[in-house]
Structure 1
Amino acid sequence: MLNLTRRFARHATLPLVAMIFFLSAIHLFADDKPQPDVIIFTNGDQLSGKFVQAIGDTVSFHSDIVGDITVEWSKIKELHTAQKIAVIEKSVQIKHHQIPASVPIGTISVANEQITVQPTTNATIAPIPIKNAQYVVDQATLNKQLVGHPGFFQAWNGSATAGLTLVQATQNQYSFNGGVALMRVVPTVSWLDPRNRTTIDYLQSYGKITEPSYIDANGNFVPSTFTKSSIFHADAERDEYVSPRFYFLGQVAFDHNYSQNLDLQQIYGGGIGYTVIKTPKQELDVKATVQYERQAFFNTVTNENQNLIGSTFGGYYTLHLPKSILFTQQVQYIPAWNNTRAYSVSETDALVFPAYKDFGFQIGTLDTYLNNVPLAFPPTKRNSFQFTAGVTYTIKSAY
């Protein structure tokens, strides 16, 4: 009986030890789980989740139950965070992508319109009035935005648009228009000065009208005919900021316009830019470049291909209208210095209306004037106007 008891104790020891380790591991991982931040509203309601940021009078908070919310400081009675938060006062300027030593970092408690920071060093920091806090953001996000570099497919924002028209009657007609506009600004948050900006744009329209062959009233055979339209524009630009508003830039651009006999226009250049207006509702940039330009034409009487040295003088404007409507406009004047006749002017306008989630509706125009159109038959018009409409999808990649 004694031997049986000893064998039972020996065999029971291993499962018992395993159970102890298992329970210890559960306890360990439970302790490692981050504690939630807590927000208490003035009406007494309480919400647990994660404090995201506070910019001016607006606080952003995420909860797994209600999702992302935005609320004003005036509606918050208390706020307590478990994560480390940086409080940047209005008098503080962040330069050279470094956090100033005067910026307090630690867990925060908000009450009586005062922000109390509790740093890990246990140093005593005087409470900061909410009205003096310009930006309140977690330390991890601040470090990532100051010194981080997004991956190739990260931090892009923009839209993709497509429209289609089909007609079947005496004449058959179809047309397609589409475009993609992407922009990435680093840092990706509006409360830090930009280091660099990359933009990519592509716009194309293609249409064709065909009329089938037939026998006329005199019994003569009339062959089928068609009329084609084809326009596309593509460009990319990289801006490197040397101040919050002034930057150097490099650009490439490609244009094709069948109606102007322009086979391909290529532009490679560099220059400077300046942000004249920058507010939450609107922004205006002006730019000037020096560039090499190559123009190749087709269906011409004489060889009109050109190698040009010129410039681009342009402006880019964005305006956020009520109900999340977005208006964008780009105007460019492109002269050539070694051939004063070879200049062009273009204007692009777009108006985007939100519809459902990331989908919306866009209307736009593209007006181009090419002064040095080649001699051709039938004669080629210098001006080309295009109106487009289509469904647009908002592109947002995380960082």
Structure 2
Amino acid sequence: MKKTTIFVLMCVLLLGNTLNVFADQIVLKNGDRITGKILKKDGDKIVIETESAGTITILWAAVERVASDEPLNLELTDGQLIKGTVETVEDKVEVETVDAGKVVVEKEKITTARNDAEQTKYIEERDRFLNPGFGDLWTGSADVGYSLTTGNSKTRSFTAGIRAARETTKDKISVYANAVQASNSTTGVNVTTAKALWFGGRYDYNVNEKLFAFGSADFEIDSPQLLDLRMVFGGGFGYRAIRNENTQLDLFGGAAYNREYYKTGLRRNSAEVLIGDELKHKINQRMNLTQRFVFYPNVSDLGRFRAQFDASLLTDINGWLGWHVTVGDRFNSDPVAGAQKNDLFLSTGIRVNFGRTAK
């Protein structure tokens, strides 16, 4: 009985050592050793799945040695693809391939490394991005805000908005809709102080990496402005002035046709120039700023002009939820009688992000 127990214990220990031998390993420069299954190495990070600590992400610069039992798909800085088990020897990485035998590469030349499952997901995502269906690649956000006062003052305000974009290497489709409703019943009579709806979209076609052509359609309804409907159809060219990890700035210009219908019965048609910019800036890991400004000088009636300005500051709560503060301004130099030239609004509320971009 005693011999049987010893034999069982020896088998368990041997099996445990065998499992450790045939697991992937990452040894850090500080001496820590992590055992598990290497999933991928993208950019400056490597990801390993462990049995006890789950999935761990490690800086590639902190890695001293790597050894994999399962084949990894490696891509080098020169675009070369290699597949095989890997083991670090000094500053080199030895890749044991099926066809070419042992291949030695420098550690710094490895841009990506993925196991077969991650490589399959990457190829599927890449193909989806290069040949997407119309329902693919959409990203965007939706916001809502509400405020209420009661007692000596009785006011209500509601704001909502949604925006979405589908961007590929060839073109970009973007759509939006924003609404605001506000009322004041302090005197006992409910008075609408704001009631407006803006919606539209734009199509961008990439001429090259910097230059794009666009066509746009924008619609506006604004009761306090006595505006039943404004339709603006435009087109022109844009220039990507800044494109980096933290900042994107587009400058654009062109021409537009404006058709307006007012509650007074007035109908106006006009040709306009359009000049504008769009800015996206990442302030830090949790805060982002977006801004858009468009200026419409009227060429049918010189001296008249319109301007639109929107800016939002978003603070991320988690990956899909955030808190936003948004300011918008709509200016018309020649409103109809009884309407003000300027509409300014400020709103705050939650924002929900949806969709994802392809890697």
TM-score range, shorter chain: 0.7 to 0.9
Does residue 231 of the first structure (1) align with residue 167 of the second (2)? Answer: no
Once the 2 structures are TM-superposed, how far is the Cα of residue 39 of structure 1 from its aligned partner? 4.8
Cα distance in 1 for residues equivalent to 2:294 and 2:135: 29
Residues 336, 226 of structure 1: alpha-carbon distance in 2 compared, 3 angstrom cutoff: same
Secondary structure of the 2:61 match is: helix
Structure 2, unmatched stretches of 5+, are 1-21
Deviation per CA, 1:270-325, whole angstroms, max 9, x where unpaired?
A: 32222211111111111223333222222x3x62x222333322111111122411
Secondary structure of the 2:289 match is: strand
Match of 2:147 among 162, 165, 187: 165
Q: In the alignment, what sits opposite 1:316?
A: 278
Q: Which has the higher strand share?
A: 2
Please give the residue correspondences for 1:150-189 in structure 2 after superposition, counting only pairs within 5 Å. Answer: 150-186=132-168
Q: 2:171 is matched by which residue type in structure 1? A: N
Deviation per CA, 1:248-278, whole angstroms, max 9, x where unpaired?
A: 2232222223333332222223322222111
Q: In the alignment, what sits opposite 2:100?
A: 122
Does residue 268 of the first structure (1) align with residue 233 of the second (2)? Answer: yes
Residues 262, 67 of structure 1: alpha-carbon distance in 2 compared, 3 angstrom cutoff: farther
CA radius of gyration, larger in: 1
Q: In the alignment, what sits opposite 2:42?
A: 54
Cα distance in 1 for residues equivalent to 2:305 and 2:222: 15
Structure 1, unmatched stretches of 5+, are 1-35, 93-101, 187-193, 214-223
Contact 1:154 1:397 in 2 (8 A): no
Deviation per CA, 1:92-140, whole angstroms, max 9, x where unpaired?
A: 5xxxxxxxxx53243462624545556664377551441x445556654
Q: 1:330 is matched by which residue type in structure 2? A: R
Secondary structure of the 2:300 match is: coil
Cα distance in 2 for residues equivalent to 1:367 and 1:164: 19
Q: Tell me how large the CA RMSD over aligned residues is.
A: 3.2
Q: In the alignment, what sits opposite 1:25?
A: none
Q: In the alignment, what sits opposite 2:218?
A: 253
Q: In the alignment, what sits opposite 2:18?
A: none
Cα distance in 1 for residues equivalent to 2:69 and 2:165: 33
Residues 286, 381 of structure 1: alpha-carbon distance in 2 compared, 3 angstrom cutoff: same
Residues 314, 114 of structure 1: alpha-carbon distance in 2 compared, 3 angstrom cutoff: farther
Residues 257, 62 of structure 1: alpha-carbon distance in 2 compared, 3 angstrom cutoff: farther
Cα distance in 2 for residues equivalent to 1:141 and 1:392: 29
Once the 2 structures are TM-superposed, how far is the Cα of residue 176 of structure 1 from its aligned partner? 0.4
Please give the residue correspondences for 1:23-102 in structure 2 after superposition, counting only pairs within 5 Å. Answer: 38-42=24-28, 43-49=31-37, 51-55=39-43, 57-60=44-47, 69-76=56-63, 77-78=65-66, 80=68, 82=70, 85-89=73-77
Cα distance in 2 for residues equivalent to 1:203 and 1:248: 25
Cα distance in 1 for residues equivalent to 2:166 and 2:191: 42
Does residue 352 of the first structure (1) align with residue 311 of the second (2)? Answer: no
Residues 60, 382 of structure 1: alpha-carbon distance in 2 compared, 3 angstrom cutoff: farther
Match of 1:207 among 182, 196, 204: 182
TM-score by length of 2: 0.78
Residue identity over aligned pairs, in percent, reads: 16
Once the 2 structures are TM-superposed, how far is the Cα of residue 67 of structure 1 from its aligned partner? 5.6
Q: In the alignment, what sits opposite 1:296?
A: 261
Once the 2 structures are TM-superposed, how far is the Cα of residue 231 of structure 1 from its aligned partner? 2.4
Residues 238, 168 of structure 1: alpha-carbon distance in 2 compared, 3 angstrom cutoff: same
Contact 1:154 1:398 in 2 (8 A): no
Q: 2:105 is matched by which residue type in structure 1? A: P
Contact 1:327 1:351 in 2 (8 A): yes
Residues 60, 306 of structure 1: alpha-carbon distance in 2 compared, 3 angstrom cutoff: farther
Secondary structure of the 1:74 match is: helix
